[in-house]
A and B are shown apart, each in its own frame.
Chain A
Amino acid sequence: MMRSALPLLGLLLAGAEAVGEPTQEPGAPGEPPSGLALFRWQWHEVEAPYLVALWILVASLAKIVFHLSRKVTSLVPESCLLILLGLVLGGIVLAIAKKAEYQLEPGTFFLFLLPPIVLDSGYFMPSRLLFDNLGAILTYAVVGTLWNSFTTGAALWGLQQAGLVAPKVQAGLLDFLLFGSLISAVDPVAVLAVFEEVHVNETLFIIVFGESLLNDAVTVVLYKVYNSFVEMGSANVQATDYLKGVASLFVVSLGGAAVGLVFAFLLALTTRFTKRVRIIEPLLVFLLAYAAYLTAEMASLSAILAVTMCGLGCKKYVEANISHKSRTAVKYTMKTLASCAETVIFMLLGISAVDSSKWAWDSGLVLGTLVFILFFRALGVVLQTWVLNQFRLVPLDKIDQVVMSYGGLRGAVAFALVILLDRTKVPAKDYFVATTIVVVFFTVIVQGLTIKPLVKWLKVKRSEHHKPTLNQELHEHTFDHILAAVEDIVGHHGYHYWRDRWEQFDKKYLSQLLMRRSAYRIRDQIWDVYYRLNIRDAISFVDQGGHILSSTGLTLPSMPSRNSMAETSVTNLLRESGSGACLDLQVIDTVRSGRDREDAVMHHLLCGGLYKPRRRYKASCSRHFISEDTQERQDKEVFQQNMKRRLESFKSTKHNISFTKSKPRLRKAGRKKKDGVANTETANGKPPRDLGFQDTAAVILTVASEEEEEESDSSETEKEDDEGIIFVARATSEVLQEGKVSGSLEVCTSPRIIPPSPTCVEKELPWKSGQGDLAVYVSSETTKIVPVDMQTGWNQSISSLESLASPPCTQAPSMIHLPPRHLGTEEPWAPPALPSDPLLNFAFPPSLAKSGRSRSESSADILQQPELQPLMSQEDNTHLSPGAANPRWCIQFNKGGRL
């Protein structure tokens, strides 16, 4: 904290000096300047913006400092730290300047600091969740806030009547009710700051947070009504005024929401026509949202509600209209502004508290308020939840209620409102200010600090961060339709009915009006999810093996095509087997560019070496891309990278020859593919990312034309990869080395690569070796991912296979080059492992290899799992047959055998 305080100290000193200086400078204005000044000090001209910038800078630096220690931020919410920092800074300022210079000005707060936060929360609000729980949220926001303010105010008045509040506090019932109205509203900023770090389940979060946003209307109305009552004097208040007060609740809330929706409409409409001026898209979003806020504020409607509705309403259309980059820009700017505003708010809260001239202490009032707001909040929540649970499908249980009561944090809104009170009309203002500060500090610091342990202790259902799956999207839609249909059939106009109605209205009119035609076309949600998953897979794909791709010229443009070509397989591989895809690519890569082998080795070395930094990077962005199995995947990655390195070195030393032959052809194929991709790209005239399936088709075509014969073969044998592998591997090496396929199964005759005796062992235990090979890398889908490159190689294998009269195996192609490598990888350890395998002593006659194969075939199901095995978590071991229980061991045996 001191570190961040130092620059501020410097600033203050500079400021103090500056304050002194200008008095001298303008001191002699009459004097004509003696000449052209080389250097002029113009602090006053820049003072205001400079200070603002410096404050924000200090706040940001403080944030950085806090986050240097993960331990601190995991224990203490940032808002607490910022308030404490503000206290310290305020103290320093007070000590230096002898008066409190800076504080949270209500004007600044409401006009500049609050809007970004609310806009951010409105724009990124999960709208479906919000509307699913709208009933509960509105109840808590309206009834709850009214309840809290009345009871708190009345109880405080009662406390005063009972003589527990010092007589200095001159306040009547109305004053207390006014105070109750401003102190009882749950604050969105504080709630957001604390709950974002707690990660309770979405429903709970949306209820508390939605309440804090929507209660603004109630707070504003109550505050204004009481304020005018107080100003009028309670004697002059007439019955009609009460009615007006009630009416104004509707005016303010509905009016605010209407303003927000109007601006949302305008915003969506405007962004429809920004096709040629993409650059102002983000600006439009902010400007119109801010305009909504200011308009509502101007009409003294609920500004928070307005901007929330604006963000909520426009998002769907705006996101569809604006470009991808603008979307990112909007997102980041919004988050930055919000976070910045939040930081400044909390810091200024801390600083403001130091100014003792503004407040006066009364223990009775402070303690009473603290007790009452906690008690009545809890009571209100329990009562309302009891009522709500009669109607809710998923009732809120006791634990939820505890968290909701405890999560009722008060914050800067209350503080700003209490500062706005007129001291002449509300004589007890100073006491109220002090109480508010204490309440805010108590809720933010004490409750903020303890809510996390509380949530943990109560075992509140946490939000689980599962990535959206296509299934989820699909079923959600289907269920919606089903429910709507059933409601329709029964003639029951329930929630689903109305949602269905709204969706149809939206689809028929709103979307047509507010969305670009092109955007409207693409917008279908299912396709959208699919597309996003696709992109995500591609990204993680690139993340894991992509540099290799790009290093050989297979750059991103080809990714979509490749991806969509075997779309599912990429996903699957990435999800299930971690970076399995990466390894395969690696294989292709090295095969294709044999001459770049050293590069590749270097690359791998670097990958391995750079592993840690990469992991950190990943963790930071894991929120978006990587699911909970990151760690696991990383482990796999490490394993694979090691494997790859070993394979590389082994290959370069031992198997050089074997690849020379395959190289030219493969490379040609690769180039052709690239050409094909390029062609399609240019033909489509689309940016690479949008290639999608059209591209796929094209690529497939090229492949087909190139290797038609093999294609037909491949189609036959989708499932037999397991067994095929052994033979393929052999065959390949054989083919490559001897150029001819030997008709016999005696593959071991290719002496240069493989010592004869181990091959025999392998033959004897074909399923073993097969599993071993498979186990490491290939899933049935792998071949789909790397079709072009692999298929060329695979052609050879097929032909060799055919000559071998072995059952056709389509999946084999991907494996062609793998077996030797695997052997290489494990080579060092293999010999010791060999004797330990009892099965090794059991020898089949070589001719039996086939039978072994058929055996593995019969257990195709089992084998398919083993393919992924080493890269997967152990849980899948259960699926394996005993023989395949530990693929790694299998590999070793296999290798040992060969050696």
Chain B
Amino acid sequence: MGNKQTVFTHEQLEAYQDCTFFTRKEIMRLFYRYQDLAPQLIPLDYTTYPNVKVPYELIGSMPELKDNPFRQRIAQVFSEDGDGHMTLDNFLDMFSVMSEMAPRDLKAYYAFKIYDFNNDDYICAWDLEQTVTRLTRGELSAQEVSLVCEKVLDEADGDHDGRLSLEDFQNMILRAPDFLSTFHIRI
């Protein structure tokens, strides 16, 4: 127990608890997971608020992630500066969103952000094409992809403006009640 207390000050832990959906224990566990990402980089003492980031290269080169089409996108969305480097706060944020306690709207919002490749707050055809291309690992031709995207847009586009706003997205995703219920990770 003792060494755990040295990682964070009491106030830090309180703050983290306030900002996330985690208990103190879970925060500690997540911290060690985070520390595992780059043991040589991340100090075991966070009381001084060290400005450490796990660079994206490290995350992106994990063998498990090699085949994941969204690795970069996820890192980008959850990192503050959008470049994929993750601080501890980002890391905690990410899992906080994925936790069961997180409200659906929050989950939907982050899912939306992941889709929104060009960060214009709308999922446009281009964003969808990115998604579809990634999902299909480039097996569909450009024409097929655009057909699919057109249809996806059409299905969800409530206001017929040719792109999906956050509202459209939420509508669509909350319509299927089981949809977000699986968007959890238990640590």
The chain A residues found within 8 Å of chain B, CB to CB, are 132, 203, 391, 393-394, 466, 469-472, 474-475, 477-479, 481-492, 494, 496-497, 500, 504, 521, 524, 526-527, 530, 533, 564, 567-569, 571-572, 693, 697, 780, 861, 864-865
Contacts and interface: CB of A to CB of B under 8 A. Distances in A.
Contacts of B136: 524, 526-527
B132 A526 contact: yes
Given A132-B182, A470-B151, 10 more contacts: A393-B181, A466-B176, A471-B172, A479-B183, A485-B68, A490-B95, A491-B36, A494-B185, A496-B185, A530-B151
Contacts of A485: 65, 68, 70-71, 74
Interface stretch (B7-15, B16-24, B41-49, B152-160): B152-160
Nearest 6 pairs between A and B by C-beta?
A: A488-B64, A568-B154, A485-B68, A568-B150, A490-B33, A568-B151
Q: Is the interface of B mostly helix, strand, loop or mixed?
A: helix
B40 interface: no
A473 B178 CA distance: 13
Contacts of B33: 490-492
Nearest to B161: A861
Contacts of B148: 470, 474, 526-527, 530
A486 B94 contact: yes
Given A466-B176, A479-B111, A567 B151 contact: yes
Contacts of A497: 64
15 contacts: A466-B176, A470-B151, A474-B135, A478-B135, A481-B68, A482-B114, A485-B68, A485-B70, A486-B98, A489-B37, A490-B95, A527-B140, A533-B151, A567-B150, A697-B143
Contacts of B176: 466, 472
A470 B70 CA distance: 19
A481 B136 CA distance: 12
Contact of B185 (A470, A486, A521, A864): A486
B82 interface: no
B159 A567 contact: no
Interface of B: 30, 33-34, 36-37, 59, 62, 64-65, 67-71, 74-75, 94-95, 98, 100, 111, 114-115, 131-132, 135-136, 139-140, 143-144, 147-148, 150-156, 159-160, 172-173, 176, 178-179, 181-187
A519 to B, nearest CB: 13
A478 B21 CA distance: 24
Contact of B140 (A524, A572, A864): A524
A10 to B, nearest CB: 52
Contacts of A564: 147
A533 B144 CA distance: 14
B173 A475 contact: yes
Contacts of B182: 132, 393-394, 479
A562 to B, nearest CB: 14
A478 B98 contact: no
B62 A489 contact: yes
Which of A478, A485, A865 has the most chain B CB atoms inside 10 A of its CB? A485
B185 A475 contact: no
B151 A483 contact: no
Contact of A526 (B64, B68, B135): B135
Contacts of B111: 475, 478-479, 482
Nearest to B30: A490
Contacts of B156: 471
B49 to A, nearest CB: 22
A488 B65 contact: yes
B142 to A, nearest CB: 10
Contacts of B143: 693, 697
Contact of B68 (A391, A469, A500): A500
B144 A527 contact: yes
Nearest to A482: B70
A245 B58 CA distance: 51
A485 B94 CA distance: 11
B147 A567 contact: yes
A466 B75 CA distance: 34
Contacts of B172: 471
Contacts, number: 135
Contacts of A394: 178, 181-182
B160 A780 contact: yes
A548 to B, nearest CB: 25
A127 B185 CA distance: 21
B179 A482 contact: no
Contacts of B181: 393-394
A471 B100 CA distance: 23
Contacts of A486: 74, 94-95, 98, 185
Contacts of A484: 68
B157 to A, nearest CB: 9
Nearest to A575: B155
A631 to B, nearest CB: 20
A487 B94 CA distance: 11
B101 to A, nearest CB: 12
Contacts of B147: 530, 564, 567, 693
Nearest to B164: A471
Given A484-B68, A485-B68, A393 B186 contact: yes
B183 to A, nearest CB: 6
Given A486-B95, A530-B147, A524 B62 contact: no
Contacts of A572: 154
B187 A490 contact: yes
Nearest to A481: B70
B147 to A, nearest CB: 6
B155 A478 contact: no
B73 to A, nearest CB: 8
Contacts of A693: 143-144, 147
Contacts of A470: 148, 151-152, 155
A327 to B, nearest CB: 22
A880 to B, nearest CB: 14
B1 to A, nearest CB: 23
Nearest to A523: B139
Contacts of A491: 33, 36-37
Contacts of B184: 393
A478 B186 contact: no
Contacts of B183: 479, 483
A474 B173 CA distance: 11
Nearest to A469: B155
A571 B94 CA distance: 37
Nearest to A477: B135
B76 to A, nearest CB: 12
A701 B160 CA distance: 27
B39 to A, nearest CB: 12
B21 to A, nearest CB: 14
Nearest to B180: A479
A500 to B, nearest CB: 7
A504 B67 contact: yes
B135 A489 contact: no
B74 A474 contact: no
Contacts of A490: 30, 33-34, 95, 185, 187
A492 B187 contact: yes
A490 B64 CA distance: 11
Contacts of B115: 478
A524 B115 CA distance: 20
